Amino acid sequence: MAEQLSAQLVKAEAVGAETRLLRFALPDGAPLGFVGGKYIIVNSGKLLPDGKTCKRAYSILSSDRDQTSFEIAVRRIGMGSNFLHELPLHAELHFSGPWGKFVAASPQEEESTWILATDTGITAALGLIQAEDFAPKLARTELCWWVQPGGYFLPESYVREKIPPACNSFRVEQAPAIGDLNRAQGARELLAERVRRETPSRVYLCGDGAALLPLMEALVSDGMPPERIHVETFFNHAKRKSV
């Protein structure tokens, strides 16, 4: 069984009707020991209809330079997120982690890096791009956030404030709605546009698996070594055929 940790909610901010930004502090200033791009699993203590405890994963979107506190963003979509939206200030959070392999590869100055984040996957991208281990790559890094319009998750202004100035490029592109059959094709078009300028030497993909897993398969088919493609799916985890 994973070790259960605790942290206190020290700051909460509503961002629009559906998203809440939460900052937690570890007890006695203890370090969490996380690396940018990793996530925690929150234990709500509530029971699902099948009798299991409701636990949900959230990427840490704050910089790993501060190990005594961390920040997550929560979009209200169900029992786990409702629990976090209703959590009062100074309450204790129970969680496990940090978990995950969506972290910076060994620094190589010559690498050009493309990060494509869809939807809520921007949280993993922000954690990654602010990581100390990612700093050597920033000058040749492009981040694209592919998201539905209309304030779907986080304000663009907030995301821009989190991106280190050394990052080469950040752009926001309009995505089809989740579940749209054109999603995978739209992701392929974004990749094709990027490759017309230069084929990136390393790619990070985070968010909707229905769009990103076919994109990963396409990259491998085009000759990119699988170890240079890093994927973190937030939903639609099952693989689908490339388009």
What are the pLDDT digits (tens) for 196-240?
A: 999 999 999 999 999 999 999 999 999 999 999 999 999 998 754
Confidence (pLDDT) at 240? 44
Is residue 29 helix, strand or coil? helix
Starting at the edge strand found earlier in the chain, the sheet holding 53-59 runs: 53-59, 39-47, 92-99, 5-15, 19-25, 69-75
| Contact indicator for 171, 160 with CB cutoff of 8 Å | no
When the pLDDT of each residue in the chain is averaged and rounded to a whole number, the result is 93
Q: Would you state the structure tokens that stand for residue 237, as one six-digit string?
A: 């985890």
| Contact indicator for 210, 189 with CB cutoff of 8 Å | no
What is the DSSP secondary structure assignment for residue 62, as one 8-state letter? S
What are the pLDDT digits (tens) for 132-184?
A: 999 999 999 999 999 998 888 999 999 999 999 999 899 999 999 999 999 99
Asked if residue 53 has pLDDT above 80, the reply is: yes
Confidence band of 241 (pLDDT split at 50, 70, 90): very low
Q: Would you state the structure tokens that stand for residue 10, as one six-digit string?
A: 């020290």
Describe the chain by its helix, strand, coil percentages, rounded to 5: 30, 35, 40
Q: What domains can you pick out in the chain, each with its CATH number?
A: 5-99 (2.40.30.10), 113-235 (3.40.50.80)
How open is the CA angle 74-91-153, to the nearest 5 degrees? Answer: 10
What are the pLDDT digits (tens) for 69-123?
A: 999 999 999 999 999 999 999 999 999 999 999 999 986 667 899 999 999 999 9
Q: Would you state the structure tokens that stand for residue 194, as one six-digit string?
A: 């990027």
Q: Would you state the structure tokens that stand for residue 165, as one six-digit string?
A: 């100035």
